[in-house]
Amino acid sequence: MNQRPVRRTRKGDFEIRLSDQERLLIADLVTQLTAVINQEAAPENPLLRRLFPIAHPDNPDLESSYKEMVEGDLLDLRKEKLLLVTATLDQKSIDEAALLAWMGVINDLRLVIGTYLDVSEDDNQDTYGPGNPEADTYAIYQYLSYLLDSILDALT
């Protein structure tokens, strides 16, 4: 029987069953995302476009006002979640607030990697099969999708 990497315990917290290699991978990805998020022009970075989508594409003035209102808060929230994941990465169990931070960060990582790969619904295993230079990156994307699914299962 295949055990899911995240499960709710009887106490109501969440057990995180990841190997040392999986934890190292997530730590490395979180470090990379933190570095990109901490750049001054982070919201304009093309890799982060799915993290900071355009809300009003047909109205530049309204879009500018929207960005001015929410962009700083969105950045701060993402930074807080990244810090919480980093702080809890070595723990075997975490509370729901920490798991929600994990969920947000894992999803953000998927979005950034998906943007980098230009993933579409038409992609399949063959798209990133052996010989494709991005096969390893796509495997990480798939792993993060699996981990996110496990987190969602545990929360419901």
Structure confidence by residue, pLDDT tens digits, 23-52: 999 999 999 999 999 998 888 899 998 998
- Ordered DSSP codes for 15-54: EE---HHHHHHHHHHHHHHHHHHTSTTGGG-GGGTTTS--
From edge to edge, which strands make up the β-sheet containing 14-16? 6-8, 14-16, 93-94
Structure confidence by residue, pLDDT tens digits, 84-123: 999 999 999 999 999 999 999 999 999 999 999 998 777 6
- Ordered DSSP codes for 47-85: GGTTTS--S-TT-HHHHHHHHHHHHHHHHHHHHHHHHHH
Which tokens go with 60? 């530049």
Structure confidence by residue, pLDDT tens digits, 42-78: 888 999 989 988 899 999 999 999 999 999 999 999 9
Amino acid occupying residue 152:
L
93 phi/psi in degrees, rounded to 5: -145, 150
108 phi/psi in degrees, rounded to 5: -60, -45
Give the CA diameter of the chain: 55
Instruction: Classify the phi-psi angles of 9: left when phi > 0, otherwise alpha if psi is within -120 to 50, otherwise beta.
Output: beta
